[in-house]
Structure 1
């Protein structure tokens, strides 16, 4: 028996040695060395803070369908639960057991059961999920569901909690209300559904204020008490018609906010009518109900507390602190006070939501902590090169001279040499003074560590979010160096997001970098331009510019002016064009633009002409993709990356000939979708030259529907879609080739009618749901291309293009096979070692952005969803960089030995030759 165990142990040891040799993993010391992640919860919706319990807690729900527990001291996420996106995961109600108006939470438990709930949530509508959570751990303790009979009406359903009962309110607009009570923890109905006739209710004018369903009708409030045995219509005159929409006052039953003042739906509801403000919340202080308000005046955040019934101000709750502009307008959500002997209010914590999607905690007139939840909705990112160090900048300035000066140092070699020597002397002097402590003080960017490195890996990450908040973040450490907020801006009318453009990089010393945000004004609908320095976050070139027209299309000019600024070409709704800055108008002459109408499925091309100091547009072509029934709509338009560089112009064939790539920089992929009575879904793919308007290639998919994610690069196109017939996600790839001869090897022209390309296409099966796709990009395009695929599980898979290549041969024979071509297999492998974020899961991953670095082998990556992940990857390994464990001492010794040996051998050889000469 012992010998058998000994033999088994030896066999197991041999097996482990074999397996360990095949492991490909991330070393422990490399974790978070080249990457970092932020964890977000989204914009705040509801908040409950409790400081007097056994364990202080801050429970929140957000508009991103997330519930979470935050540490009241630091704002750190203790736990979170992320629900589905859209109406299916929307949080209709969040209720704490201790905030249930004194009701016993366990009173609604099943007979014989001792459990109730710490936290109760109602989520979705078809079905609605009622769940009980452990507030300390975030674990689900119980749940029950409710499936409505008519799912389309259930979308507007409402819920409220009262005395261990949960009420489901289903409004049928312009008709009646259906109210059904249930035991909160069991889901057992306590009675029949009550139908209350209410023909005046409408979705735009009605809200649920506690147990009262309240509507505004002209200058009157009309309410119904939904918990009454016989609900009666309660009417109250307001005196004048409200200007702003009404909203419920959280915490007080039957109190609403009408034009920034508190109003009770009935006269016998005690409320402080004298208060004015757009932000109220209810809490307890010294065993009294207290209303707390928050407002901003003279750049100070003022928080005041009043007794709910008498409006008497409580001075202990007064807080005032400096309030930066980038927070926007504050809305106080919750507060609580830690009980102490003095009851001086110093232990009070106020939780505030701001219009820039931040969460601000205030205590003792100071900011206790802040969470920037705008990062949960990233729409655009850019990597900006950091400025040179002061000494390197001076050398750069001396070597370049003034831009545009014909007598600059570039044309005077002697002067350039003299200035170079003098610059080196100044550098040595500066170094010496710095060593002895008498050197000049470092600049602000140097103090912050914002100095360009040798390999171009250290950059400023500029992020634009959906709320209009812009961040400047160090891509190496994740530190937020600056932030600014653009108030009253939003996405464009057709669903297109705001744009972040780079007009000038940091490579033109001493000129600073320049970025621009293009958005739409919420009030007027006209365009808005905001220019700023991406390194410091300060406004530049005038900052905010309000346009007097709506933006239809925009494009960056390919050439720069004398200040190295790229102009922006903007087309308005009347097809007129403007250029900013205006002195760059002449550089827009001869450009081509196109517009796409998603609803009608049409594309139009224009030619921009500059004549007599005026810019005009000439319509060139029009393409109708709406189909014979006119029901096809454009769902996606994908163009190539404008900074992409194509290194290889062809592909070597087995017979040693070259198959040249069809590299058309004007090629755009357009996807349309329509419903079909036979095939259910139709997806059309069009490759269109947007200069000539010619359709280069088209293809139709049947029984295929979104989600659709597209990557368009070089001569290939890859897009992920859902095959409804076989119920799986697939990736289709297309490659275009000119053939064995190249039409024009120097300059591409869409106007010379190039030959139609050869098209290769293939479809692969991917065993996961794709949420985003992006190709890698490097500075010169030498490195192999990989495709980054974001999955629904929150991982980012790096797939080499060789796996997606449509020219993968069907046959496994090696005869006549292209170099590097693998045999075709329908299923794409997703090995765990190809997941670049290893165990750093990104919730709701929907955005990936890549940018080149100074190293040709390395690509910078930003992935975002609810969380954000920043890293760098090397698709072809770091072939241009020495390894970290490179033995410098050994190579130095080898070089010294070889050098010494060569000198000794040379001396011995000369002596030998001399002796031979004397013989």
Structure 2
């Protein structure tokens, strides 16, 4: 028998619910990585490159960058074979190849020498070298195989020189020079014998030259000479025994010749042979054969030595150019390369050192103009199929990108300027247009058909390799996340980043591709003598209302030099195209940039730029902006943190500058308060404040006992952490008794210290983040030898009286009372500390659109990964045994350490090398925030701290949802049919007791179906128990006693297919009182004329009735006897009984 419909429906619904919940699982599988995130690897600006192009093995170039990265790049594609990112406290000084299979690096001022395996980058050995000073170190690999069996590596640091074996790193010999203050500048190997020339400077004017035996390290000869006007330190070997040195003023050259133990020199002014030179002059390490290169800010000049008589200019490049080192082609000649700008192209020239008029190659190459000028060139040669020599060059551009030029074209390029990001902001994409042209529709239809044909061929495994690549490219193009228009969820945005080179780059959040880039002319080093520095990037204009048709714009602020007192630079760029709309150079410095909440009529956001003299300058410089600012100037306060002077100061603004009263956009400042920490006890380690655009959803917290705690939500709250001077260094530099860390909460308007807590035995580095009414900071506990994270929550006690609902109704509250920072606030502080496993590089907190979603702490660990830690673990109200009410509130039981859940790593198994910053950007969906992490690498992902409660995830199975809907509709249809049948069966099983008045002994209780018939008579009285009058004329069903079941088995079986009630409409039963109204009325339903043969006539009815003359249909009295409410009278009816 089939199960009841109700039970089957519950089972079906339970299965479907379990299937739908399975799709909402939060686990991220390996194949899901990359769907909503991306990861990009970079290396930084190249400062040294060494080629490895032997016939055996892959052709590669090993580079050393300013980001302290060693990497091996494929010469064919630019892909990274392997790389190592070394910590900043261990800077790499130089790199070289040894024996054709080792990469040798010298770091930490010549104290650490390492050898790496060239094919895979594994470290072979490491040698620590004792050096007396931390001066500039040099590395030189001896190339003469006659010296020893393996190549010796010479390490020069301070007054010492060491020879180290390149096979096992064992020090063969070491030599200390006795000249006081000697700093070695150059080392040259003699090609004829085993002599090594070492050139150094003692002090600023004394030149020393040593000749050493490469096998033993013994000094063969030495010579010393004092030069007038001093030396700047740049020395080149022009020939076998002639040196060229730049004097201290960089305006003259010394030509030095050493013979035996004597030194002679000649001083030549640069202006004598170079007519037009300006800016900083540099000697370029170039070539032998008496050729040197002299570079100024505008030209590069090639000079040839004429013995001791002077120098001769052979060639001069007027355009910005760069010259490579000399490259040995054969035993007879060397070549070098010059790359210069010619209009919108760069020109690649290869010359021979012995004959500068002989140009081997001169090619023009088209490049992107937003890359700037050429900074460095590294030349390499290869042998063509016709046995001739070909040349390729690795070119380092001003924006820190690198290009490989070969055969007049750019083979590949890398945007390695993104490895040095200094600031990040997000901008919205343009709104999608409603109208679409007919041509676009036809094109899209064609692409749609083409794509489906290709996908069908791929499914049937009939697609070629090119077609499979086209299918993949089509999927990428058709992906919703890569569109150039904003979406309703707010996931598609532009990440606008500012690099150290002064380049602004816009990245698409969908896949990380570059939308536009612009190397700002005002921040280019080629336009000024000094190296400019980019500072910050801000939102300048977000169009609304009257300026809806304008594009949003951004503001870039920098300095024209590296010094903090250098004049400032301001640039405004279009967010959609990167076009520079406006630029301005300041006559004042930039010490601090303060974005204000005010806007002018064109919706440009107002900014204050504070100079080194503490004067504030308003931008934009418009009358509308000035009027808007003056009306709110009395409410503007700011503070400055001076780490050098160990002080924090607060200021207000006055109407005009003291030194320039004519400048109406300049405002002087008034010192309101200052906190100066004693330098012998505390040093400022870090200061943090709330984000200006942070959204707070609620101002109060309801705790477990239904009490209300009001958050202290002042935007003027700043956090300052100080450490003792002994604990300001690296971990372990101070004893626990000497180390301490003090945390302050300070009001930036009044300078009042709201809270102060001291951690004894703790030291930095300190990392902190401030959000809403809480602060989280990370430090090291020397006593416990573990890292700790502390949390401070601050609450406003002055609003405690507002908890009375009656006072709120009657208006007796202070919710609308004016608040001022000058009144002493009544605050309550709760704090707690927890052990933490990792060291921290950066900290941030998730930001959402409305601030409703739970907060998560984003922690950049020492392993260059990002950990998302729920703020509930950092609740200071956690206790060992929380009450049931506290558990219902969500308070986690207290533990001494914070848990590290592997699934909580936002970066999965990836690493963001040299991680420096984490940025959280709110999406339009309240549940989701966008997280961007930058260092040498870039990483982007979407994060839902409280799950995606307001949207369906990308992994949601829409097919399963459709199947669920179809299954539910089918289940409802089936259950409706079953319900109708069940209702019909229930009607048949209604218990109606019929009592025969005249012959009680014949009521044997047999089972029968009775129907009205005009040929028979029945007893006159029937008693209806359930009172269903309408059903009485339809069916009368008596239950059969179990004892009489056997007696009815002998009845003749009913004919198949016969139903005594087949002609009755049971769904619309006729009313009993209206069915038969008189003696001549017809029945309300069709009754068969004769009963079927299988019917048996009851014996207690047949004797008293005649069959010869059928009587007309009985008259049914429509007026029942009121004395018997449940009784009905019938005149003459016949009952047929069916087994």
> Would the TM-score normalized by the shorter structure come out above 0.5?
yes
- Which residue in the other structure is 2:487 paired with? 453
Among 532, 540, 553, which residue is 1:514 paired with?
Answer: 553
Which secondary structure does the structure 2 equivalent of 1:802 belong to?
Answer: helix
Verify: 1:700 aligned to 2:701, yes or no: no
- Which residue in the other structure is 1:147 paired with? 130
- Which residue in the other structure is 2:97 paired with? 96
- Which residue in the other structure is 1:283 paired with? 327
Q: How does 1:279-678 map to 2 (within 5 A)?
A: 279-281=322-324, 282-285=326-329, 288-315=333-360, 317-342=361-386, 347-391=390-434, 430=436, 435=441, 449-486=483-520, 489=523, 498-505=535-542, 509-522=548-561, 525-540=566-581, 543-583=582-622, 584-588=625-629, 589-590=632-633, 591-608=636-653, 616-619=667-670, 621-627=672-678, 629=679, 632-675=682-725
Kept after mapping to 2: 8 A contact 1:568/1:579: yes
State the Cα distance separating 1:386 from its structure 2 match.
Answer: 0.7
Kept after mapping to 1: 8 A contact 2:598/2:628: yes
Verify: 1:258 aligned to 2:245, yes or no: no
Kept after mapping to 1: 8 A contact 2:481/2:510: no
State the Cα distance separating 1:793 from its structure 2 match.
Answer: 0.9
- Return closer, same or farther for 1:720/1:267 CA change in 2, 3 Å cut-off: farther
The range that moved more, 526-535 or 694-703, is 694-703
Q: How does 1:66-145 map to 2 (within 5 A)?
A: 66-86=69-89, 88=90, 90-97=91-98, 105=99, 117-125=101-109, 128-145=111-128
Which secondary structure does the structure 2 equivalent of 1:594 belong to?
Answer: strand
- Return closer, same or farther for 1:603/1:91 CA change in 2, 3 Å cut-off: closer
- Which residue in the other structure is 2:28 paired with? 26
TM-score, normalising length from structure 1? 0.80
- Return closer, same or farther for 1:608/1:454 CA change in 2, 3 Å cut-off: same
- Return closer, same or farther for 1:122/1:752 CA change in 2, 3 Å cut-off: closer
Distance in structure 1 (CA, Å) of the matches to 2:387 and 2:312:
23
Which secondary structure does the structure 1 equivalent of 2:924 belong to?
Answer: coil
TM-score, normalising length from structure 2? 0.65
Kept after mapping to 1: 8 A contact 2:40/2:938: yes
Distance in structure 1 (CA, Å) of the matches to 2:412 and 2:924:
36
- Which residue in the other structure is 2:1134 paired with? none
Kept after mapping to 2: 8 A contact 1:332/1:350: no
* Aligned-residue CA RMSD (Å): 3.9
Superposed CA offset, 1:475-526 (max 9, x none): 11111111111356499x9x99711101223666322111011111118811
- Which residue in the other structure is 2:957 paired with? 885
State the Cα distance separating 1:661 from its structure 2 match.
Answer: 1.2
State the Cα distance separating 1:220 from its structure 2 match.
Answer: 4.1
Which secondary structure does the structure 1 equivalent of 2:171 belong to?
Answer: coil
Which secondary structure does the structure 2 equivalent of 1:455 belong to?
Answer: coil
Among 870, 877, 901, which residue is 2:940 paired with?
Answer: 870
Distance in structure 2 (CA, Å) of the matches to 1:899 and 1:520:
72
- Return closer, same or farther for 1:713/1:464 CA change in 2, 3 Å cut-off: same
What residue ranges of structure 2 are gaps of 5+ in the alignment? 1-21, 145-150, 181-200, 206-229, 272-276, 446-479, 657-661, 727-733, 803-812, 984-1065, 1075-1139
Distance in structure 1 (CA, Å) of the matches to 2:700 and 2:1071:
59
Distance in structure 2 (CA, Å) of the matches to 1:304 and 1:918:
116
- Which residue in the other structure is 2:65 paired with? 62
The range that moved more, 691-700 or 35-44, is 691-700
Distance in structure 1 (CA, Å) of the matches to 2:754 and 2:268:
65
Distance in structure 2 (CA, Å) of the matches to 1:778 and 1:731:
24
Kept after mapping to 1: 8 A contact 2:115/2:166: no
**Which of 1 and 2 has higher RCO (CA within 8 Å, sep 6+)?**
1
Distance in structure 1 (CA, Å) of the matches to 2:588 and 2:115:
51
Superposed CA offset, 1:133-157 (max 9, x none): 2222212223322122x3xx13433
- Return closer, same or farther for 1:189/1:661 CA change in 2, 3 Å cut-off: same
Kept after mapping to 2: 8 A contact 1:221/1:237: yes
Distance in structure 2 (CA, Å) of the matches to 1:566 and 1:579:
11
Kept after mapping to 1: 8 A contact 2:882/2:891: no
Distance in structure 2 (CA, Å) of the matches to 1:253 and 1:165:
26
- Which residue in the other structure is 1:244 paired with? 280
- Which residue in the other structure is 1:729 paired with? 787
- Return closer, same or farther for 1:859/1:448 CA change in 2, 3 Å cut-off: closer
Distance in structure 2 (CA, Å) of the matches to 1:873 and 1:299:
44
Distance in structure 2 (CA, Å) of the matches to 1:680 and 1:487:
51
Distance in structure 2 (CA, Å) of the matches to 1:913 and 1:252:
115
State the Cα distance separating 1:586 from its structure 2 match.
Answer: 2.0
Verify: 1:38 aligned to 2:40, yes or no: yes
Kept after mapping to 2: 8 A contact 1:36/1:870: yes
- Return closer, same or farther for 1:32/1:268 CA change in 2, 3 Å cut-off: farther
Kept after mapping to 2: 8 A contact 1:47/1:333: no
Among 753, 764, 787, which residue is 2:857 paired with?
Answer: 787
- Return closer, same or farther for 1:780/1:24 CA change in 2, 3 Å cut-off: closer
Distance in structure 2 (CA, Å) of the matches to 1:371 and 1:916:
91
Kept after mapping to 1: 8 A contact 2:303/2:314: no
State the Cα distance separating 1:75 from its structure 2 match.
Answer: 0.7
Superposed CA offset, 1:888-909 (max 9, x none): 4145437867999999999x9x
- Which residue in the other structure is 2:465 paired with? none
Which secondary structure does the structure 2 equivalent of 1:893 belong to?
Answer: helix
State the Cα distance separating 1:768 from its structure 2 match.
Answer: 1.2
- Which residue in the other structure is 1:416 paired with? none
Which secondary structure does the structure 2 equivalent of 1:585 belong to?
Answer: helix
Distance in structure 2 (CA, Å) of the matches to 1:653 and 1:38:
44
Provide the aligned length of Structure 1 versus Structure 2: 815
What residue ranges of structure 1 are gaps of 5+ in the alignment? 1-19, 98-104, 106-115, 172-176, 392-426, 440-445
Distance in structure 1 (CA, Å) of the matches to 2:818 and 2:947:
32
- Return closer, same or farther for 1:77/1:254 CA change in 2, 3 Å cut-off: farther
State the Cα distance separating 1:285 from its structure 2 match.
Answer: 4.9
Superposed CA offset, 1:776-818 (max 9, x none): 0100001000001111112111100011112211445647667
- Which residue in the other structure is 2:1136 paired with? none
Among 756, 777, 791, which residue is 1:719 paired with?
Answer: 777
Among 738, 745, 748, which residue is 1:690 paired with?
Answer: 748
- Return closer, same or farther for 1:507/1:335 CA change in 2, 3 Å cut-off: farther
- Return closer, same or farther for 1:363/1:727 CA change in 2, 3 Å cut-off: same
Distance in structure 1 (CA, Å) of the matches to 2:35 and 2:164:
52
Distance in structure 2 (CA, Å) of the matches to 1:356 and 1:436:
42
State the Cα distance separating 1:50 from its structure 2 match.
Answer: 4.2
- Return closer, same or farther for 1:368/1:773 CA change in 2, 3 Å cut-off: same
State the Cα distance separating 1:714 from its structure 2 match.
Answer: 0.3
State the Cα distance separating 1:869 from its structure 2 match.
Answer: 0.5
- Return closer, same or farther for 1:454/1:273 CA change in 2, 3 Å cut-off: same
Distance in structure 1 (CA, Å) of the matches to 2:303 and 2:832:
65
State the Cα distance separating 1:728 from its structure 2 match.
Answer: 2.5
The range that moved more, 360-369 or 769-778, is 360-369
